[in-house]
Amino acid sequence: MKNIAVVGVGYVGLVTGVCLSDLGNRVVCVDINEEKIEKLNLGKMPIYEPGLEDLVERNVRAGRLSFTTSYPECLREAEFVFIAVGTPEGVDGEADLRYVRMAARSIAEEMDHPLIIVNKATVPVGTGDWVADIIRQYRNGEVEFAVVSNPEFLREGSAIADFLAPDRVVLGSLDREAAEKVAQLYLPLRTTIMITDLRTAEMIKYASNAFLATRISFINEIANICEALGADVKEVATGMGYDARIGHGYLDPGVGYGGSCFPKDVKALSYMAEIKGRHPQLLRAVMDINDDQRRQIVRKLDQALGGLRGRTIGLLGLAFKPNTDDMREAPAAYIARMLESAGARVRGYDPVAGAVAGRVVPKVDLASDAYDLAEGCDALVVVTEWNEFKNLDLARIRDLMAGNVIIDGRNIYEPEQLKELGFYYRGTGRGYESA
């Protein structure tokens, strides 16, 4: 059993802490947000993530997991400290590292024995060196330490499975011995562990997310071309995916990527390239295509309805993806604001993100379920592919609506079925519509 401290109880920090404790370690999580810690100590989760609540309860009950606002308490017996605080987008697209700085300084001021400090948050290339400089500046005396980069590759909605069954674990450090000690924590996962230097490990994270975002923007561009040429992008993507060099992952066209990672990481990587005198044209195109996918939805609605002013539009799904309540960079929020600016009334329903959406898009009228949402709407837009939307009674939906327009931003419905039910249906890249 190792003693581990985790700084930050957001998506990354909380999942990291609870999973490390479930592997048999003693983990203390610290956060300066008293409300979050109070909720966790009462057994209430500050985020929605399938399976998280049960895992927290089990490890708290076993005495392996605890929560505090006190750095001295958190660090008292720690051998490893994982920094898992937020790195939001800055004014120019750069990563805002204020919380990383605060965490590093707090660790330095309270550490009184050797520590291995692990950067778990997504941070710009060079942050590991910068954190080491902060620790040296603020530590008491000459307490030894090492910094290891350990980027996370967690997907919201499947974060626990991703942690416990990862494709790989990436570690980077200028201290090989420290990296190997961190590697020991992950040996029970029986996965590939790659050890490299600090900056390369940090870059692996950005390059991975940028590549996945590129695949999404690529297939969305192909979808738009399919609409113009009369091809079906779902069949195109399936045919492409059978090529072993390509694969099927991240080839689902839709309303664009969102969430806390892809948007800010692509922007941050582009920013890093630009300040070093490089010209990241591909990354810029990826971002432009993603932005345009949201506008495509609004253009389709405008065309189908003959104008948006005075119309009532219902959004099926508000979170940026299923199985999360995360509204950060959610396509639904952008679409809602564009529709509101065009004079439409916007309603919305999401199985778990309603409370969060109420703060992010306060003008959206929140419905209690999909049928409540449909009542009186001129059009519905599928924004998030929740499973419950795939099995709706569509005849009932049709009868409740004032109009008959469905814009399927996730291609979850069969076009012919919708047309037979009397809907005006537009998917994403379904070429029969314009052939």
Q: Is the pLDDT of residue 102 over 90?
A: yes
Over residues 387-416, mean pLDDT: 96
Q: CB-based contacts of 8: which residues, under 8 Å, 6+ apart?
A: 29, 30, 31, 83, 84, 85, 86, 99, 103, 121
Residues of the chain with pLDDT > 70: what percent? 99
Q: Is residue 204 part of a domain?
A: no
Q: Is residue 217 part of a domain?
A: yes
Over residues 275-304, mean pLDDT: 96
> What is the pLDDT, as a whole number, of residue 238?
97
> What is the pLDDT, as a whole number, of residue 433?
53
Q: Is residue 205 part of a domain?
A: no
For the stretch 157-213, pLDDT in tens is 999 999 999 999 999 999 999 999 999 999 999 999 999 999 999 999 999 999 999
What is the spatial distance between Cα 235 and Cα 241, in angstroms, rounded to a whole number?
Answer: 10
Helix (H) or strand (E) holding 110: helix 98-110
Q: Are 41 and 47 in contact (CB under 8 A)?
A: no
> What is the pLDDT, as a whole number, of residue 434?
43
> For residue 152, what is the domain's CATH number?
3.40.50.720
What would the two tokens of residue 378 be?
């001129």
Whether 66 and 179 map to the same domain: the answer is yes
Show which residues are catalytic: 261
Q: Are 105 and 134 in contact (CB under 8 A)?
A: yes
What would the two tokens of residue 152 be?
């996370």
Predicted TM-score (pTM) of the model is 0.93
> What is the pLDDT, as a whole number, of residue 353?
95
What does pLDDT average to over the chain?
95
For the stretch 51-77, pLDDT in tens is 999 999 999 999 999 999 999 999 999
Cβ atoms within 10 Å of 153's Cβ, excluding its own? 18
For the stretch 246-259, pLDDT in tens is 999 999 999 999 99
Whether 265 and 350 map to the same domain: the answer is yes
Over residues 391-406, mean pLDDT: 97
CA 87 from chain center: how many Å?
13
Radius of gyration of the chain (CA): 23
Whether 127 and 235 map to the same domain: the answer is no
Whether 63 and 113 map to the same domain: the answer is yes
What is the spatial distance between Cα 293 and Cα 428, in angstroms, rounded to a whole number?
Answer: 10
Whether 182 and 234 map to the same domain: the answer is no
Q: Is residue 228 part of a domain?
A: yes
What would the two tokens of residue 312 be?
């009532």
Q: Is residue 202 part of a domain?
A: no
Which amino acid makes up residue 415?
P
The DSSP bridge pattern shows strands 192-196 and 424-426 to be: unpaired
Over residues 15-38, mean pLDDT: 97
> What is the pLDDT, as a whole number, of residue 140?
86
For the stretch 368-394, pLDDT in tens is 999 999 999 999 999 999 999 999 999
Sign (positive/negative) of CA torsion 264, 265, 266, 269?
positive
Whether 311 and 172 map to the same domain: the answer is no
Nearest-10 crossing angle of helices 331-341, 281-305: 50
Q: Is the pLDDT of residue 44 over 70?
A: yes
pLDDT tier for residue 435 given thresholds of 50, 70 and 90: very low
Number of domains within the chain: 2
Q: Is the pLDDT of residue 144 over 50?
A: yes
pLDDT tier for residue 432 given thresholds of 50, 70 and 90: low
Domain containing 256: what range? 210-433
> What is the pLDDT, as a whole number, of residue 90?
84
Over residues 420-432, mean pLDDT: 90
| Chosen domain end from 169, 196, 223 | 196
Taking CA atoms, 77 is separated from 24, 41, 347, in Å, by 16, 20, 51
Cα end-to-end span (Å), the chain: 63
Whether 127 and 154 map to the same domain: the answer is yes
Q: Is residue 28 part of a domain?
A: yes
What is the spatial distance between Cα 91 and Cα 95, in angstroms, rounded to a whole number?
Answer: 9
In the DSSP assignment, the letter for residue 429 is S
